């Protein structure tokens, strides 16, 4: 009986360790450094205003892509000597999974919301069609999040402003 319990304990520990080993953080680096465009990118729009995006590898959810775009925004803010940022526009898109039997034609969509200066609000809906070359047997879905931020330092901070130091200190996984 003790031998069976030991075997069960060893199997349970082995399963736990293999599960931990297979759980890895998503790629967090510049999209320009990856072959498939996975990663982040940013564009300075004007002083203290940036567009930041994150495109996930297959299997990364839209929520995870948005979390990593926010993380990159915090890094951008800190790298520019600022302290906080607000999100003034946000879009998260999930590419549909290609059918295994299927067509290399994919249809996707997104919904966005935004706030401009002076409190003006906007919303948008987009639909896209892509025609890939190949068998359409790709597995996994790819997500992309695009945010636009305005950053600052000191007080007063706008309601809902993110603290860049706190966001940048969060673990990636």
Which of 168 and 10 is assigned the larger pLDDT? Answer: 168
Query: Does the pLDDT value for residue 146 go beyond 60?
Result: yes
Q: Report angle CA 169, 145, 48 to the nearest 5 degrees.
A: 65
Query: Does the pLDDT value for residue 17 go beyond 60?
Result: no
CA distances to 46, 55, 93, 112 from 125, in Å: 25, 19, 11, 6
Note the pLDDT tens digit of each residue in 56-67: 999 889 999 999
Which of the residue ranges 7-11, 34-38, 68-72 would you say has the lowest mean pLDDT? Answer: 7-11
Which of 165 and 33 is assigned the larger pLDDT? Answer: 165
């Amino acid at each position: 009986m003790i031998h069976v319990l030991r075997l069960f304990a060893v199997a349970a520990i082995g399963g736990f360790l293999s599960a931990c080993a297979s759980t890895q953080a998503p790629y967090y680096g510049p999209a320009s450094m990856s072959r498939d465009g996975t990663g982040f990118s940013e564009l300075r729009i004007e002083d203290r205003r940036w567009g930041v995006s994150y495109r996930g590898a297959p299997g990364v959810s839209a929520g995870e892509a948005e979390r990593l775009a926010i993380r990159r925004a915090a890094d951008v803010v800190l790298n520019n000597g600022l302290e906080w940022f607000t999100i003034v526009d946000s879009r998260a898109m999930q590419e549909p999974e290609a059918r295994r039997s299927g067509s290399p034609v994919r249809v996707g969509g997104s919904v966005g919301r935004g706030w401009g200066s002076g409190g003006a609000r906007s919303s948008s809906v987009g639909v896209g069609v892509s025609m890939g070359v190949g068998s359409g047997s790709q597995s996994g879905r790819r997500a992309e999040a695009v945010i636009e931020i305005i950053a600052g330092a000191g007080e007063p901070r706008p309601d809902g402003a993110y603290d860049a130091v706190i966001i940048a200190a969060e673990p990636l996984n």
